[in-house]
Homo-oligomer: A and B are copies of this chain.
Amino acid sequence: MSIVEIAQNAREASNLLQLVSSEQKSLVLKSIKNALSSRRAEIFKANEEDLALAEQEVNAGRLKASLFKRLDIRGKNDEKFETMLEGIDEVDLLADPIGVVLAIFEARPEVVVNIACLAIKSSNAAILKGGKEANKTNHVLAQIIKQAISSLNENGAASSQNHSSFPENAVQLVSTRDEIKQLLDLDKYIDLVVPRGSNSLVKSIQNSTRIPVLGHADGLCSIYIDKSCDASKASRILVDAKTSYPAACNSVETLLVHKDALANIFPEVAESLIQSGVTLHLDSRSKDALLSSNKNFSQKQEFIKDATAKDFDTEFLSLDIAVKVVGSVDEAIDHINKHGSKHTDCIITDSEQNGEYFMKKVDSAGVYMNASTRFADGFRYGFGAEVGVSTNKTHARGPVGLEGLTIYKYKLYGNGNGSTDYGPGKKQYLHEDF
User: Which A positions have Cβ atoms within 8 angstroms of B?
Assistant: 15, 18-19, 79, 98-99, 191-192, 203, 206-207, 210, 212-214, 230, 232-234, 236-237, 239-241, 244, 337, 344, 355, 359-361, 363-372, 374-376, 379-382, 392-395, 397-398, 407-424, 429, 431
Contacts and interface: CB of A to CB of B under 8 A. Distances in A.
A341 B421 CA distance: 26
* This chain: copies in complex: 2
B420 A393 contact: no
A83 B31 CA distance: 55
B417 A372 contact: yes
20 contacts: A18-B360, A212-B392, A212-B395, A233-B415, A241-B418, A244-B420, A367-B410, A367-B412, A369-B414, A370-B416, A371-B414, A371-B415, A374-B419, A379-B429, A380-B429, A382-B431, A393-B407, A394-B394, A394-B407, A398-B410
Contacts of A192: 393-394
A275 to B, nearest CB: 15
A240 B410 CA distance: 20
B210 A206 contact: yes
Interface of A is mostly: mixed
A363 B99 contact: yes
A372 to B, nearest CB: 5
Contact of A236 (B19, B210, B418): B418
Contacts of A382: 429, 431
Given A99-B363, A214-B394, A365-B409, A419 B19 contact: no
Given A240-B420, A393-B192, A412 B212 contact: no
A28 to B, nearest CB: 19
Nearest to A372: B418
A212 B202 CA distance: 13
Interface centre among A19, A232, A393, A422 (most CB of B within 10 A): A393
